[in-house]
Amino acid sequence: MVYNLETPLTEEAVGMLKAGDKVLLTGVVYTGRDAAHKKMVEQLERGESLPFDLHGNILYYVGPTPAKPGQVIGSAGPTTSYRMDAYAPVLMDRGLKGMIGKGDRNRAVVESMIKNQVVYFGAVGGAAALIASAIEEAEVIAYEELGTEAVRKLKVRNFPVTVVIDAQGGNLYETEKAKYRNVE
Amino acid sequence: MREISVDTIIEKLSWMCIEANCRLNSDIHNAIRTCKDKERSEIGRDILEQLLENADIAKKEMMPICQDTGMAIVFCEVGQEVRITGGSLTDAINEGIRQGYEKGYLRKSVVKDPFFRENTGDNTPAIIHYDIVPGDKVKLILAPKGFGSENMSRIHMLAPSDGMEGAKRVILETIDQAGGNACPPMVVGVGIGGSFEKAPQLAKKALLRPVGEGSPIGYVREMEQELLEKANKLGVGPQGLGGITTALAVHIETFPTHIAGLPVAINISCHVTRHAECEI
């Protein structure tokens, strides 16, 4: 199926999505990768609030290149997600509804996704110039000192992603690989 | 002695940073196009199409193909009849990287300390491999390396009794485990022989060979072909989402080794395997 979805994501939308569905996202998406995740989880451990409300929101694992004059953002493809596995369940427990990245997740993340009803989208790694054309606005909202790793609020229009792990644990990495595997 | 100024090195390298990051080399472009026509997975074909479209946008807008513009790996061959003037060669290489990454709006992805992780702000230092060669030229090869694939690379210190079959097994295991993390279709560089540090350097060098150009050594070329065929039967596919295009090429370099050893290093690289070179 192909869906056009607006953010923040509703429970209903998350529940309907199945691994393999294509989605065009429109609305706000927040960026965060290694260093920002570490900072967010440390803040939560200290009992502080986060720089943005997680409820219903989506985190995009990306560290963009600098914008040239006249550009909103530079190239902005997904980074590998497993490095955020250690932090993701804590954020899902606090309302995060979607993640965008590339590559498979560990068991703890998938269990937390099922428990919290969260969806994991894949964007095409290395299609960074193409993806940038779906980003209409970008603003650093936290951890500016982290440079490319700062948290940005992006406004996206028809941002192309695929549901790779759904909220029931359906996993495209497993099912599609098996179809083409031919190993003695 | 022929004199070469550090200014020439800086200028050439800074241009190479932009060139390597914004233009997909034609060998990779052609390989992706060929694989797209053969790919059986619809998702896979769609991804390969997007990669070609992305490369076209990057070239037209002179934007980085991938946001991970990498750590700068520099292979520098210095002719022994060359004298570098105006400063240190290593400083000049780092200055070239600094200027190229700034001018080209490329991402600065290097942190000062592996634990405290403060960004150096200019993508230096580069990793530099020097080679002293006959002649009066300097050859520079820049290979910006992204870490999605670098993190999936492995070294195995096999026993001589593991032999060629053992080497093939660990190479295929590494490709399989890399999966979607390494942004397949991958280019796989393999270094076999040497010592603990020599094998990965050979693997890195193997990535510089144009895709589709086999080893000049007969049995190595056969190994490369067999491994490419088997890699594409693993099912990983474009972006790890299934298909018969897992690798674009497997390149192997070999070197003499110790009577007790069989080092095998596998350097995984993504579908944006980049390099630019120049001779001064």
Taking the domains of chain B in order of start, what are their residue ranges?
A: 2-20+65-145, 148-272
Residue A49 burial by Cβ neighbours in a 10 Å radius (0-12, 13-18, 19+):
exposed
Q: What is the pLDDT of residue A81?
A: 97
Mean local confidence (pLDDT), A149-171: 97
Contact B247/B172 with Cβ under 8 angstroms? no
Using the Cβ of A148 and the Cβ atoms of chain B, whether some distance falls under 8 Å is answered with yes
Say how far apart CA B173 and CA B181 lie, in whole Å.
14
CB contact under 8 A, B240 and A130: no
Say how far apart CA A68 and CA A5 lie, in whole Å.
29
Q: What is the pLDDT of residue B150?
A: 97
Q: What is the pLDDT of residue B48?
A: 97
The pair of three-digit structure tokens given for residue A95, joined into one six-digit string: 């309302």
Domain boundaries, chain A: 2-180
The ipTM (two decimal places) reads 0.93
Tell me, what DSSP letter sits at residue B113?
Answer: S
Is residue A142 over pLDDT 90?
yes
Of residues A20, A128, A133, nearest to B67 (C-beta): A128
Ranges in chain B, pLDDT < 50? none
Q: Which residues contact B113 (CB under 8 A, 6 or more apart)?
A: none
**Class assignment of domain B148-272?**
alpha beta
Q: Which residues contact A9 (CB under 8 A, 6 or more apart)?
A: A56, A57, A58, A97, A98, A119
Is residue A184 over pLDDT 80?
no
In the structure, what pLDDT confidence band is assigned to residue A183 with cuts at 50, 70 and 90? Answer: confident
CATH of domain A2-180: 3.20.130.10
Task: Report the chain A residue with the minimal C-alpha distance to residue B233.
Answer: A182
Q: What is the pLDDT of residue A164?
A: 97
> What pLDDT digit, counting tens, does each position of A56-82 carry?
999 999 999 999 999 999 999 999 999
Q: What is the pLDDT of residue B246?
A: 98
Mean local confidence (pLDDT), A112-120: 98
CB contact under 8 A, B64 and A133: no
Residue B98 burial by Cβ neighbours in a 10 Å radius (0-12, 13-18, 19+):
buried
Is residue A85 over pLDDT 90?
yes
